[in-house]
């Protein structure tokens, strides 16, 4: 029974994340899940988010001095964080992760396993 409930919670969280491009925080996800599962706790949402991350079903974006954002898109992509409104956006770029790794390996003596690249500035709405 507990297992079934767990699965339902996890599925709901997954669906919410897959259906948004807004990279919500755990608090925002909690508010959304509560509409469908009113008795769910924030701790349960966190537990499921951690589990989904371990299963590589979702991605977590961590920023210093800010809450973690969650992403239903797990393929490699870059993010932009607005310094004004704090929203996180996906960047649709032609540069591929592997290209960046290769570039660094070609120009240094380091062997690259992974990298992190984040962009900050003003989003289109905040530029107005
Ligand atoms: Zn903005
Ligand atoms: Zn994203």
pLDDT tens digits, 57-80 = 999 998 877 789 999 998 878 899
| Superfamily (CATH H level) for 78-127 | Ferric-uptake regulator, C-terminal dimerisarion domain (3.30.1490.190)
- Long-range CB pairs of 27-32 (<8 Å, 24+ gap) are 27/67, 29/70
Q: Indicate the class that CATH gives domain 2-71.
A: mainly alpha
Q: What does the pLDDT average to over 18-42?
A: 95
Q: What does the pLDDT average to over 10-14?
A: 95
- Distance between Cα 1 and ligand 2 center (Å): 34
- Distance between Cα 104 and ligand 2 center (Å): 23
Reported as a pLDDT band with limits 50, 70 and 90, residue 6 is low
Higher pLDDT, 62 or 29: 29
- Distance between Cα 73 and ligand 2 center (Å): 6
Q: For residue 127, give the ligand nearest its CA.
A: 1
Q: What does the pLDDT average to over 6-15?
A: 90
C-alpha angle with apex 115: 108 to 47, nearest 5 degrees? Answer: 160
Give pLDDT, residue 28.
Answer: 96
Give the number of other CB atoms < 10 A from CB of residue 7: 11
- Distance between Cα 2 and ligand 1 center (Å): 41
- Distance between Cα 125 and ligand 1 center (Å): 6
Reported as a pLDDT band with limits 50, 70 and 90, residue 1 is very low
**SS3 for 101?**
helix
DSSP secondary structure code for residue 110 in this structure: P
Pairing relationship of beta strands 88-91 and 78-82 according to DSSP bridges: antiparallel
**SS3 for 113?**
coil
Ligand 1 (single-atom ion) residues, CB below 5 Å: 82, 84-85, 123, 126
DSSP secondary structure code for residue 83 in this structure: T
Higher pLDDT, 114 or 70: 70
- Distance between Cα 26 and ligand 1 center (Å): 20
Domain residue limits, the chain: 2-71, 78-127
Ligand 2 (single-atom ion) residues, CB below 5 Å: 71, 73, 90
Q: What does the pLDDT average to over 26-51?
A: 96
């Amino acid at each position: 029974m507990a297992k079934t409930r767990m699965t339902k919670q996890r599925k709901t969280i997954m669906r919410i994340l897959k259906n948004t491009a807004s990279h919500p925080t755990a608090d925002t996800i909690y508010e959304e899940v509560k509409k469908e599962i009113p008795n769910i706790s924030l701790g349960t949402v966190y537990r499921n988010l951690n589990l989904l991350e371990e299963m590589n079903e979702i991605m977590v974006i961590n920023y210093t001095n800010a809450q973690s954002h969650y992403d239903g898109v797990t393929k490699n992509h870059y993010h932009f964080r607005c310094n004004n409104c704090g929203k996180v956006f996906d960047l649709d770029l032609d540069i591929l992760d592997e290209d960046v790794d290769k570039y660094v390996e070609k120009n240094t003596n380091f062997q690259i396993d992974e990298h992190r690249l984040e962009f900050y500035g003003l989003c289109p709405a905040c530029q107005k």
